Structure 1
Amino acid sequence: MHRPRGTGEYNKLSADGFYNCAGCGTALYKSVTKFDSGCGWPAFYEGLPGAINRSPDPDGRRTEITCAACGGHMGHVFKGEGFKMPTDERHCVNSVSIKFIPGDAPASS
């Protein structure tokens, strides 16, 4: 299920913790990599190493990101938009694809 922009529960969340795949519980993002991009969906500048796969959409306009463990759709990644982040990337992730886990160590379900 895809939610309209600005309606997801994690769009404005700024607590410390990890964002895990809602499908399988794999840790995908640290909260410190989350930023407010103004896109209406949670945005991250990088995922945890090896946690996210990238593949071009069939139309070639965007790059889809999926959970490396279960293949669940997370959203899309965009490069070169000028955000002052270390990677110059914006992972635009739908809130229904992730689950926030507070704390300083990634948890899996």
Structure 2
Amino acid sequence: MKQAIVARTDLGMGQGKLAAQVAHAALSAYEDADERTRRAWKGEGQKKVVLKGSGESELFELADAAERAGLPNAVVRDAGHTQLEPGTVTALAVGPGEDDDVDRVTGDLSLY
């Protein structure tokens, strides 16, 4: 099992901002998963990959695909306290889920 986090490359986020947004996405999608999935993923080491997303529209397309596939997912919007405007979509997490299911949604993306 794994979780894929897609972070936008077009925003110029600093490393700390990027790390925080990825963490927000990972936790939010974990909370969207059912208890059986959470336990299984935790038991397998909580595998994650961080991938490049080109922009907001791509993240929403991927979120729609994750919903259709029945995968837990979460879109992150920044609070706007530091580098970005409030409400800026920064990241999407897909999963945790079976590797093949997550790959059907995010498998064409490059590693961050």
> What TM-score, normalized by structure 1, do the two folds share?
0.32
Task: Name whichever structure is richer in helix by fraction.
Answer: 2
Task: Name whichever structure is richer in strand by fraction.
Answer: 1
> What TM-score, normalized by structure 2, do the two folds share?
0.31
